[in-house]
Structure 1
Amino acid sequence: MTGNTHIVGGIAASLAFAQISNDNPVLLVGAGVIGALIPDICHGGSIIGRKFSIVSKVVTGVFGHRSFTHSLVFLFLIGALLHTLLTNDSIIAGILVGMVSHFILDMATKNGIKLLFPLKITVRFPITTRTGGAVENLVFAALSLLSVYFGYEAFAGYF
């Protein structure tokens, strides 16, 4: 999936999570967008890969694309690191929810992800799509609509 789809996926997932948690929806969404971009640090052409090009080159050189940074091991390591460094549960939850949304969206692509890294098993859904194709545009539109719906629900009490 492209960066824009991951961003909207992070927003939708964070706002959906806000429905079942007492976390601050503004912090959830902001952190969810960041979390939705983090796994692609292994791709130099990604939004985050361009911002942190040296880190991206190192990670790509060591692990390759869609392996370690798209795995449960990485998710748990980031979770542990966040719990050590941060005290705000909304930010921690948002980043982790955003990362999970990224994993799910990339599992819908033909290349899938190495979710169980270091095992070399590729995990993908039975029906997949091509990154940047027409189906991804439909996914983007659906996630955008879900973001509006969940956003209305999450912020209805504020207005």
Structure 2
Amino acid sequence: MIHTTHAAFGAALMETILVAEHAPITWQAAAAVAVAFTVAPFPDIDHPESWVSRHIPFGSVVSMFIRHRTLTHSLAVTVVLYLVLFDMGFHVPTWLATGIVVGWTSHWLIDLLNPMGVQLFYPLLIWVRPPIPWLAIGVESPGEVIIRLVIQVYAVALGASYGFLHLPGSVRETGRFVLPYVSRLIEAVSLPWLADACRWLHLTA
């Protein structure tokens, strides 16, 4: 996936977590979404032609030592990142730590749709790929264009819907014709298992 797809999915995943947790609308929540959006493309620093490698000084050096979609796309790095941000006593603000971890995780999650897959259990030489070949989505393919558009529409609709439900009652009344649709979307995203998992991991922005 290209960086715009990763960024959109990072923001969408962070929004989904916030809605599942019924988090209040605060600047910290908005900042967590922005951080996830920004961080999501970063694991592709292992590719010399990626947007990240081309826009970060000396970023392309990383790809000289790390094969694409291996170490930076692994569970090992994700776990280490989580431990450093949450359990090492560095007092990183929760919204920042959450945005970083969610953004990083979102990257390899959506890359699992790529035909190449990812070496998720690095250093084990096991590549995790789509179980059904025709479900695979190539980089910059029509499939990626479609999935990126769907993610962007979802992220905008979810953010607007959640914001709408937190408006004063008198304001919501003026848009009552959209209330059933907004409520259904929020209800569909309010997944108890996701909220429980995020609370267990302390992913609360």
- Fold in common (TM above 0.5): yes
Cα distance, 1:6 vs. partner?
0.6
What percentage of residue pairs aligned between the two structures are identical? 25
Match of 2:148 among 127, 135, 140: 140
Does the alignment pair 1:110 with 2:118?
no
Q: Secondary structure at the match of 1:140?
A: helix
Match of 1:89 among 79, 87, 94: 94
Cα distance, 1:61 vs. partner?
2.2
Structure possessing the higher radius of gyration over alpha carbons: 2
Aligned match of 2:75: 72
Aligned residues: 158
**Alpha-carbon RMSD:** 1.8
Aligned match of 1:38: 42
Cα deviation code 1:39-98 (max 9, x no counterpart): 1111122222123342441x3222211100000001011112223444311121111111
Does the alignment pair 1:27 with 2:39?
no
Letter in 2 for 1:105: I
Q: Secondary structure at the match of 1:19?
A: helix
Unaligned runs of 5+ in 2: 169-205
CA distance in 2, matches of 1:154, 1:87: 27
Per the normalisation by structure 2, the TM-score is 0.71
Letter in 1 for 2:18: A
Aligned match of 1:125: 130
Letter in 1 for 2:70: S
Per the normalisation by structure 1, the TM-score is 0.89
Aligned match of 2:66: 63
Question: Mean Cα displacement is larger for which, 87-96 or 77-86?
Answer: 77-86
Deviation beyond 6 Å, 4+ runs, structure 1: none
Cα distance, 1:102 vs. partner?
1.0
